Structure 1
Amino acid sequence: MSEMGKMVKISEKLKGNVARSVNPYGCRQEILNQISYVQGKGSYTGAKKALIIGGSSSYGLASRITAAFGQGADTISVAFERPPKDETMLGTAGWYNNIYFREEAEKAGLKAKNFNGDCFTQAMKDQVIDYIKQEFGGPLDLLVYSVAAPKRTNPDNPDETWRSVIKTVGQSVTGENINLEKDELFEQTVDPATEDEIEATKHVMGGEDWEIWVDQLKKAGVLAEGFKTILYSYIGPKSTYAFYHEGTLGAAKDAAEASSHKIQKNLDDINGEALISVSRAVTTKASVVIPIFPLYCLALYKVEEQTGTHETPIMHKDRLFRDMVYGTKREVDENGRLRPDAWELRPDIQEKVATLMAKITPENFNTDLTGYAEFRREFMQLNGFEVTGADEDEVDFDALTKLRP
């Protein structure tokens, strides 16, 4: 047994709805748990070479895991994560997710390359393209674009930076939100975005960068015949439209759909496919800071617990790729979007959710009446806490700094 290095105590730390700590060993166990889930479903025919933009957590990570351990794909992830700095700053969960995923993929005989940096920059695009040409061993079959970012520099003007905002459009909206740090339900008013904020959010969270990635990869000659690319959207129920579907995020998703049509034309000559998939509501680092949205999740999770329809990101994305992207069970809407969110939006589910939401108060939101316990647990698991099989309360700091990205 190797000698232990300096042991550092770890514990859950929240500031509002932002996690300020990480359990690297819990992140490792979460990777193992997700891999086990996919392997338990068996292998299926899909991509052999996949690039995931935003592959270090949540939907992007789940997409990478099902590609590798379901489809047998070699994978590349591009993500912007922080390594450990000192004993009080152990880095981000995504940093460890990338590392532990790579280790497990390599054990399985798969290539797994992690690029840590800003996916919006030309330098990152050049690095990835060069790697594919020189070392990846073949062209891409699949590109997943799963990016939630706060800002993006204008590629045509390095002095201009666009910043995304989560706001309504046209009118203020007031409703309840959750403070995970204090276990509180509180009233929040969301002010409408300015026109400049709407446009900036579209530049950051829309499909412009997705278009650039696909265009440059194609021009570089690294896309395979029949290549597929997919971007994740969200629509949700009417109760969340004002601050999501009809808000700044919705405007960005509309822009992404316009981009998908441009990309499709670009891919026609290689029989490629550009897809928009409408995802279900899940607990992510982004979703907990979307105003009012967590309250909807509390009601939804409880109803899904009762109906057996609740899905975590790995369950949702494995089903998407296994059944719809590469399977024979495609569910599409009138706009051609894949709709794995159909389970969430079933009329009977939504009727029960609306009824339950009307009953939630500051006094009962964290009781068995709602799905608060599951919502909070899934949030903590994003940072390696409350993970089944990982009960450590301290980590070997020296060992963490020696991990190979």
Structure 2
Amino acid sequence: MIVSPKFRGFICTTSHPAGCEYSVRKQVEYVKNQKKVNGAKKVLVIGASTGYGLASRITAAFGCGAATIGVFFERPGSKNKTASAGWYNSAAFEKIAKEDGLYARSINGDAFSNEIKQKTIDLIKKDLGKIDMVVYSLASPRRTHPVTGEVFNSVIKPIGSTYTSKTVDFHTQLVSETTIEPANEDEIRQTIAVMGGEDWEMWMDALKNADALEENAITLAYSYVGPEMTHSVYREGTIGKAKDDLEATVTKINENLKGIGTKAYVSINKAVVTQASAAIPVISLYISALFKVMKEKNIHEGCIEQMYRMFNDRLYSGDLKLDSKGRIRMDDLEMLPEVQAEVTKLWNQANNDNVKDITDIESYRKEFFRLFGFEFEGVDYNADVDIDISIEGID
């Protein structure tokens, strides 16, 4: 089958198996070309199929030589429909790990459920005994509570007042104004239930109770702060409330697991193009300006560069460089005052006449399609490809 990109808003409804494998191999190649990290050896990544979760798994495996178990919820392919990009990414990861003689197994299912938690624990106990690192990198729009059965749906909205700002459609490259009405109390509650820290805490409690954690294990979850210009819809909006809850969960996990020395951290990561970030209004214009500035300063990073730097320079360097709230700040380069000043200037200047020239909107567009395996120069998109790819180590 010849696969072409088909998209609807911020979702691409097709993905390319060869392109996804090419992307994963390029990330693996980057890590293998860096110095080895004396870090984790048995790693669980919850949300392992795309973005920062995938980059964390690649870094653990090919940077630290770790055995990895990945948990995700992805759609396999069929005769007439491509699999999700995360499925192809995971298939490629396991294929490359096997080539290098690394242990890699995957579990496909709802990570919020007790069933998948138990299935994961059973696999850990059977194959690895205990693990020394847990990465929690779930990005989902909804969650079914494993105890009450309530279904929660998250929203991206401001709190308290209507938010109006400029944005750019990266498909048409047209700048416009967007207005978002404020969330009500139930929408805030549901967003926290989906994107907050409760499920992370449940995972860690389940692993502890099963005696599946090594002493002094590390667990990480990922968050974002961002610039003032996006705070109303992000950090001070519904997502921000959920991220506050996620960050507060660090204290709970550290208290619950202090008997075995487990340490929990939240890493504040840099803005990148992901399926999750593409859904947030105004972020496309901000990231397009940010890419322009950071590339000019030669400090731009994607997911894999950032995750390798976190493992090598922070987690296993002896100097985490925590901020006043105890968070790892991998957005340190993004938030440099001189970077933010230039991004703000471009943001204020951007309009339909100049957005292509003063921002890197074309790179944003390209990075979006690369999430789904398209737009890579090293892939022949006119070639017939098998879209029904299996994942060898899946449970």
Bucket of the pairwise TM-score, normalised by the shorter protein? over 0.9
- Once the two structures are TM-superposed, the CA of residue 188 in structure 1 deviates from its matched residue by 1.1
Aligned match of 1:381: 370
- The one-letter code matched in structure 1 to 2:32 is Q
In structure 1, distance between residues paired with 2:73 and 2:211: 26
Would the alpha carbon gap of residues 370 and 395 (structure 1) be closer, same or farther in structure 2, given more than 3 Å must change? same
Retained in 2: the 8 A contact 1:25–1:395?
no
Q: Which residue of 2 aligns with 1:326?
A: 316
Structure 1 counterpart of 2:337: 347
Aligned partner of 1:203 in structure 2 is 193
The aligned amino acid for 1:150 is P
Residue of 108, 114, 132 corresponding to 2:106:
114
Pairing 1:11–2:12 present: no
User: Could you say what the CA RMSD is over the residues aligned between the two structures, in angstroms?
Assistant: 1.3
SS in 2 for 1:90: coil
Equivalent pairs, count? 393
Distance 1:116 1:403, change over 3 A: closer
Find the counterpart in structure 2 of residue 293 from structure 1: 283
1:363 Cα deviation from its structure 2 partner: 2.5
User: Counterpart of 1:380 in structure 2: which amino acid?
Assistant: F
Unaligned runs of 5+ in 1: 1-7
CA distance in 1: counterparts of 2:204 and 2:43, whole angstroms? 13
Quote how far apart the aligned CAs of 1:303 are.
Answer: 0.5
1:401: how far off? 4.3
The residue aligned with 1:27 is 20
Q: CA deviation at 1:250?
A: 0.5
From the superposition, tell whether residues 402 and 35 of structure 1 become closer, same or farther in structure 2 (CA, over 3 Å): closer
Contact 1:14–1:181 (8 Å) recurs in 2: no
Query: In the TM superposition, what is the alpha-carbon distance from 1:115 to its structure 2 partner?
Result: 0.6
For the pair 1:183 / 2:173, whether they are aligned, the reply is yes
- Matched position secondary structure for 2:342: helix
Query: What corresponds to 1:3 in structure 2?
Result: none
Q: 1:43 aligns with which of 36, 44, 49?
A: 36
CA distance, structure 2, for counterparts of residue 34 and residue 317 of structure 1: 11
- 2:136 corresponds to which residue? 145
Answer whether contact 1:14 1:180 (CA < 8 A) is retained. Answer: no
Q: Which secondary structure state, in structure 1, belongs to the residue aligned with residue 64 of structure 2?
A: coil
Conserved? CA contact 2:227–2:335, under 8 Å: yes
Q: Is the 8 A contact 1:17 1:180 kept in 2?
A: no
- Aligned-pair CA distance for 1:394: 3.5
- Once the two structures are TM-superposed, the CA of residue 155 in structure 1 deviates from its matched residue by 2.1
Deviation at 1:127, TM superposition (A): 0.4
Change (3 A) 1:349 1:131: same
Identity %: 42
Letter in 2 for 1:20: T
Q: Which amino acid aligns with 2:301?
A: E
For residues 146 and 294 of structure 2, the distance between their equivalents in structure 1, rounded to whole angstroms, comes to 43
Task: Give the alignment's TM-score, normalised by structure 1.
Answer: 0.94
1:371 counterpart = 2:364: no
Task: Tell me, yes or no, if the aligned pair for 1:81 and 1:116 is still in contact at 8 Å.
Answer: yes
Q: Secondary structure at the match of 2:287?
A: helix
Q: Tell me if structure 1 keeps the 8 A contact 2:162–2:182.
A: yes
Q: Which residue of 2 aligns with 1:69?
A: 62
Q: Give the Cα–Cα distance (whole angstroms) in 2 for the partners of residues 202 and 297 of structure 1.
A: 25
8 Å contact from structure 1 (residues 16, 182) kept in 2: no
Residue 400 of structure 1 corresponds to which residue in structure 2? 388
Match status 1:157 vs 2:148: yes
Cα 1:22–1:231 shift into 2, 3 Å: same
Normalised TM-score (structure 2): 0.97
Partner of 1:335: 325
